[in-house]
Amino acid sequence: MPKRYPPEFRRKVLDLVASGRRVAQVAADLDISDQTIYAWRRQEPIDSGQLPGTTSTDNAELVAARRRIAELEAEVAVHRRAAELLKEGSPPKAVRGGHGDRLRRAVDPARLPRARSGGMRRCPSTCDVDTRSAGRA
């Protein structure tokens, strides 16, 4: 985010440039970017009404309005999602897959994972291996 300078400071900088000092020298003396000074110099006739265009005040209002619109759109999206969830009649996904699922498994044996039988595994079409005794020598 660019650094904000007070209007009085901008006015003094533009007066220094208007008095004949070079933009690069003023920028170096005041430790600001020369591009900042060029932008201020370009915006000055628009703000004073000499040229048509969007003034700094109007631009600040537009930025604030766009920011507020984005906030309101995000809020509407949250409300829409909440309405969808209420219409479905089911809890949100985070709750559905959470602790409630574990509790249902504890109560319903049909939902329990199935255990492997006997520790025996089939090798790919070659032999039978007893995994219980494979690590012992």
- Following CA atoms 40, 46, 47, 49 in sequence, which dihedral angle do they give, to the nearest 10 degrees? 150
pLDDT (0 to 100) of residue 89: 76
How confident is the model over 68-120, as pLDDT tens digits? 999 999 999 999 999 999 988 765 555 555 555 555 555 555 655 565 555 55
pLDDT (0 to 100) of residue 29: 95
Instruction: Report which of 9, 48, 46 is spatially closest to residue 29, judged by C-alpha positions.
Output: 9
Share of the chain above pLDDT 90, in %: 58
What would the two tokens of residue 41 be?
């110099």
Identity of residue 106: A
pLDDT (0 to 100) of residue 59: 94
DSSP-based three-state secondary structure for 121: strand
pLDDT mean across residues, the chain: 80
Q: Where are the domains of the chain?
A: 7-53
DSSP-based three-state secondary structure for 51: coil
Look up the pTM and report it: 0.51
